Structure 1
Amino acid sequence: MTTLRRIALALVIIGAINWGLIGLFRFDLVAAIFGGQTAGLSRLVYTLVGLSGLICLSYFFDGDTEEVARDREVDQQARTNTTNQPNYGTEFAEEPDLDKLYNPSQETYEKDKE
């Protein structure tokens, strides 16, 4: 995500919080901070929030951003690389001889054979 889009998204969130406060409590936070709705700084913030909303409209039309395409590619590779064969090995040691674990009499058989 580019820096411009992050800034735009942050300003849209600020605008959404401000509209929520207006709707719930009839309190305009931007106007309270910057000296009223007609103050220059308040108008600047309102303008930036409006422009940010227009920039964020592009999110609706981004079918495949680079991040989504990369995630899909990684998922596709993971699906093709996996097999249905279980892996009984460990990363620290060789595979144990399961015959000796499950059939201890075989070990005695081998000793008798020598």
Structure 2
Amino acid sequence: MQTLKRIALVLVIIGAINWGLIGLFEFDLVASLFGGQTSGLARIIYTLVGISGIICLSILFDPLGEADHDRTVNARHVNYGVEFGEDFDYEREKTDYDERFR
């Protein structure tokens, strides 16, 4: 399902770029590449972009997607180490203390 969503997202991006070109420069890239807006291949591309937009609605309503899954997986593997160096060796410090005050 993730592969289908990625393909749909790529097609939606292509459609968005095409609409941007139409809005800014009155240039329809899909129509110019595939022989006009009424050609069969251009209509197939337009249809695929429209279907991809519908598929991408699921991405819009997905709460956090993969980020939520990663957070729960990483919560089980907590690292209690210190950030800037090695952990303090309390056992070694205790033996040093005992030797000094014997």
TM-score normalised by L of structure 1: 0.66
> Which residue of structure 2 lines up, in the alignment, with residue 38 of structure 1?
38
CA contact (8 A) 2:8 2:52 kept: yes
CA distance in 1, matches of 2:28, 2:82: 60
Q: Using the aligned pairs only, state the percent identity.
A: 61
Larger Cα-atom Rg: 1
> Residue 52 of structure 1 corresponds to which residue in structure 2?
52
Structure 1 unaligned runs (5+)? 90-94, 100-114
SS of corresponding position for 1:81: coil
User: What is the TM-score when the length of structure 2 is the normalising length?
Assistant: 0.72
- 1:15 Cα deviation (Å)? 0.1
- Give ranges in structure 2 of 5+ residues lacking alignment: 97-102
Match of 1:24 in 2: 24
1:60: Cα distance to partner?
1.5
Residues 61-106 of structure 1 show CA distances to partners (whole Å, capped at 9, x for unaligned) of: 11143x223321244345x4326696258xxxxx9xxx9xxxxxxx
Q: Contact 2:81 / 2:87 at 8 angstroms: preserved in 1?
A: no
Higher relative contact order (CA 8 A, sep 6+): 2
Q: CA RMSD in A?
A: 2.7
What is the number of equivalent residue pairs in this alignment?
89
Aligned equivalents of 1:41, 1:20: Cα separation in 2: 21
